[in-house]
Amino acid sequence: MIHSVYPIAQAGYDSAGQASADIKRQLKQLGVDSKIIRRVAVACYEAEMNLIIHSLGGAMELSIEDGWITLQIHDKGPGIPDVELAKKEGFSTAGEDARSLGFGAGMGLPNMMRNTDDFLIASQVGVGTLMIMKFKLV
């Protein structure tokens, strides 16, 4: 079993993508199918950018067990007031700083959902957001 934790800082634009790149490298070393790696990498990178753009800080946890890759993403807030709205393509609350970097197009959550075999999101304003993304290995 593999379990790695990657803390992600609020507005940590300078190191953005490093955690996802490391997760991708780990999966490659394990010999995971390249199509699966690609889906994990896309979902993971979107999640990492979401933490950087929107959260007050959080972490991504990678675990591989029983034929599943699981990415658990949690943050310290601020929470999403309307999760169903956030899932809609094109909806974004990202600020100008994120947009100027090529993000904030309202494709993050749709991209994550589309790439996962099992997707769960729960959020409470003032508490935080939890996402669990699962990918079947075979």
Q: 67-97: buried (b, 16+ CB within 10 Å) or exposed (e) per residue?
A: eebbbbbbbebbbbeeeeebbeeebbebeee
For position 63 contacting other proteins by CB under 8 A, the verdict is no
Segment contacting other proteins by CB under 8 A, of 44-52, 61-69, 72-80, 124-132: 44-52
- Choosing from 4, 7, 30, 38, the residue that interacts with other proteins (CB under 8 A) is 38
Tell me the closest approach of the beta carbon of residue 127 to other proteins, in angstroms. 26
* Nearer of residues 3 and 88 to other proteins, judged by Cβ: 88
CB atoms within 10 A of CB 39: 19
* Nearer of residues 65 and 117 to other proteins, judged by Cβ: 117
What is the tally of helices (H) and strands (E) in the chain? 5, 5
